[in-house]
Amino acid sequence: MIKRRSMKEAFICDAIRTPIGRYGGTLASIRTDDLAVIPIKALMERNASVNWEEVDDVIFGCANQAGEDNRNVARMALLLAGLSERIPGVTVNRLCGSGMEAIGQAMRMIRTEDADLIIAGGVESMSRAPFVMGKASEAFSRDVQIYDTTIGWRFINKKMEQLYGVDSMIETAENVAGMYHISREDQDIFAYHSQLKAHQAIQSGAMEREITPVEIVRPKSEPFVFSMDEHPRLSSLEKIGTLRPVSRPGGTVTAANSSGVNDGAAALLIASENALKKYKLRPMARIVGVQAAGVPPRIMGIGPVPATQKLLSKLHFSLEDFDLIELNEAFASQSLACMRLLGLKEDDPRINPQGGAISLGHPLGMSGARLITTAVHQMSNNNLHRALCTMCIGVGQGIASIIEKV
């Protein structure tokens, strides 16, 4: 008879990120692999008691992987950060949820005793996403198709298009707005409040502990230190209302009520109880669970709903059990639809108290790790006990995670 072992716990001991850069902004000059190095090195500097030779794995999320991140960016980053060449690294891709997926995989490895110490996180440089060109499909072909890999579909499978459609991300947001009757006015109000909350958080210094400054080297000029998210753009509700719809006449989705196209990286130090004791680490939070779920691709924005419901059901929680909810704001329309479908009030103070992706930005592979990083520090700063982090994912998925303060 096989004796069942008790499940081990996975603890977040530190979490740090770069400031989020605008598309073509301050971080655009930094290669994706070099960008991933920055939070890894910051973890190493802040946790001097750790023997970094004993890291079991480095797991990073990255959505693009067509440019400078094409050769397993997790492995490249750990080597460039000065970690031992004996330490393995793996890059995971659940598109927008990649950073959260990386943390989920780290949790499972520690719970099954396959690891004691893992660096997990995510990176994306959307500014440096390359154009790609396929090879000729037949001899002497002169047909050339070039795709921008920044976001969305490329090299489309015709059967996929017939079965599910290949709506752009903005079109999926319009689909959600239409299906769930989300008005333009409600989307603009939601976006305005996201910007306002982010502005207030930045002004108060609430996010300083989670951000590691980045030194930017400039030709013919002195280097400068980049230490604050640059995507937030607080404006009046009236001005937000003047923007035109992006994808269709009569639409409701605009640049102001959508998330940004951004650059950034985040890394978390995740440890077993044995590693806590060995390296005298102080746990910030326990990872309770991570789950993903699927939805129709054309309404991918409602992905957080089944992912959250699945996770809550498995762990026997209700939404009333949470002090903090970090819901990634890919679009105001999908955020509002998810909140209404989950029975959450739109002015619930637990939801994104420091703003979300509309205001802070959405570097795809980083964002899931950013949500958990932000949640961990809010729990520490404000004496909160339990947080839910959830986000939608392109091609019709959602992912959700629960963390608890230790």
* Catalytic position from the list 62, 338, 389, 392: 392
Q: What is the pTM of this model?
A: 0.96
Q: Which of 68, 11, 8, 69 is nearest to 276 (CA)?
A: 11
Low-confidence ranges of the chain (pLDDT < 50): 1-2
What's the confidence (pLDDT) of residue 1? 45
Would you kindly state where each structural domain of the chain is located, as residue ranges?
11-129+259-405
Token pair recorded at residue 209: 């502990």
Q: Which residues pair with 351 in a beta bridge?
A: 325
Four-residue CA torsion sign, 237, 238, 244, 249: positive
Separation of alpha carbons 113 and 210, rounded Å: 28
- To the query of whether residue 377 is one of the catalytic residues in this protein, the response is no
Helix orientation angle between 32-46 and 73-80, rounded to the nearest 10 degrees: 50
Instruction: Give the CATH fold of the 11-129+259-405 domain.
Output: Peroxisomal Thiolase; Chain A, domain 1 (3.40.47)
**Residue 332 confidence (pLDDT):** 98
Q: Is 62 a catalytic residue?
A: no
| pLDDT score recorded for residue 143 | 83
Measure the CA–CA gap between 291 and 305, rounded to whole angstroms: 11
362 is catalytic: yes
User: Strands 262-271 and 11-17, how do they pair?
Assistant: antiparallel
Q: What one-letter code names the amino acid at 331?
A: F
User: Which has the closest alpha carbon to 210: 23, 37, 19, 382?
Assistant: 19
* C-alpha–C-alpha distance, residues 390 and 325, integer Å: 8
- The one catalytic residue among 13, 62, 193, 362: 362
Catalytic residue among 62, 96, 338, 389: 96
Q: What is the pLDDT of residues 203-237, one digit of tens each?
A: 999 999 999 999 998 888 888 999 999 999 999 99
